[in-house]
Structure 1
């Protein structure tokens, strides 16, 4: 099953954030979206999750027209298409375990959600998700007491609890140091490879996109200007995506580097875990 954007445009007043984008993403791909700030990357992800609606065009997942969904069907899509944000979007005063279990809200009755009642199976699954991400020891801590890297891993664990078909990550490592950035990207790659879940992530860092993503989409001024594998992201492609500096000089890739050295940092703990149906 594939996800498709068909001639999708998003306008904000007179500004075109995403301009006539056509993409076809097969199930199970790990896709990185790169480009300057304001290129349309975040708007693209928000439309896929339906946090924003396209001004024109349509979005499809197999036979399902995602852009036409309303009400309960839309909530089901947002459950199946989990979103991870740069700012984590956790509830700081709640403990980590509860934050993770909140990923089950769209699978539960309204009464159980209002009463904050979670089943034994949901608690076991939440702990397993935390173990997979190497942070099970934080389960009873308030989420607001964790480091940025730990909070992002909690957000990934919460997304896993949704049993998603797609996982969207909007700049998931932008505020993290290189070690935590590698841990988070290792976790996303592991989810992609082990569960076969499509992962689409916005990235500012070319080295990370090349290291982790089998497909890279480059955006400029709302348009897709590059779509290829990591080996195709050469100097000419970078120039097409990012242009040149104010003085006409080529973009220095070190400006975007996270200094992630794949294969040299300590690996994140990843345990066998199957998301709940």
Structure 2
């Protein structure tokens, strides 16, 4: 399989925590370049699934493959290489608050460097230039020398995206990247993720709690309920019946209102296009 057609495959994956099954027999194949939104109630298994893909936790059974290689069986340096190639963005940003923004972004290069260079904390001029370019792309270069902890939530999430892009990933996972953001910052972050998906052709898989966001930005939506995939299709197929299948009904038996999942900010119409490299992400790449 060529790099241009590399596929992320999840085969019969289950994850148990004691007697509780968080994810049950998931079978999903995601071709390179898709932007996939995973939706579902809290506790549906969305975060657990992403953490298994990144190997932050291991499946109880089943396998995960990328480009034909079984990443769910990796250990040691091969596992570190996979976690470099499969970057993860978290809801709570996972930045080092006391370090400046530029250094936080440069930390994305650690798995590309020697142990000695990392211990010495030495970054090259080229790496620093790439980090600044990443911040410029996300319109936050002016914050480069500020402690990360002084930034707003939306700014911190953009720093986290810049750090992830410094890994030069093949897959970008985002675990509820806009859940703690106001609607305007949520839009900025989603615009950034879609731009990365379209410009570099990087596969993006993101957990989302807003249906309008999933429909507007993703060209494929996966719905989860009670640890299982109960919907897998195009945004236009996510109709009332499909939403009810994913979210069920409220205490009165009525359908869940989509109003409670709305970002309430107008989102630019989604660009439907086959993802592929349009231009380099950063100068010199």
Q: Does 1:273 align with 2:281?
A: yes
Q: Does 1:73 align with 2:78?
A: yes
Matches within 5 A, 1:243-254: 243-254=248-259
Choose from 191, 213, 225 the match for 1:208.
213
Gaps of 5+ in 2: 1-5, 270-278
Q: What is the rounded CA distance, in whole Å, between the counterparts of 1:208 and 1:55 in structure 2?
A: 32
Cα distance, 1:273 vs structure 2: 2.9
User: In angstroms, what is the RMSD of aligned CA positions?
Assistant: 1.3
Contact 1:160 1:275 survives alignment (8 Å): no
Gaps of 5+ in 1: 265-270
Closer, same or farther: CA 187–275 of 1 in aligned 2, 3 Å:
farther
**What is the aligned length?**
271
Equivalent residue of 2:44, what SS?
A: coil
Cα distance, 1:259 vs structure 2: 1.2
Q: Does 1:178 align with 2:183?
A: yes
Q: What is the rounded CA distance, in whole Å, between the counterparts of 2:220 and 2:183 in structure 1?
A: 22
Cα distance, 1:114 vs structure 2: 1.2
Cα distance, 1:263 vs structure 2: 2.9
Equivalent residue of 1:224, what SS?
A: strand
Cα distance, 1:63 vs structure 2: 1.7
Normalised by the size of structure 1, how large is the TM-score? 0.96
2:203 paired residue number: 198
Choose from 244, 261, 271 the match for 1:256.
261
Q: What is the rounded CA distance, in whole Å, between the counterparts of 1:17 and 1:261 in structure 2?
A: 34
Equivalent residue of 1:60, what SS?
A: strand
Q: Does 1:137 align with 2:137?
A: no
Could you give the per-residue CA deviations for residues 214-273 of structure 1, whole angstroms, max 9, x where no partner exists? 000000000000000100001000000000001111100011111131139xxxxxx963
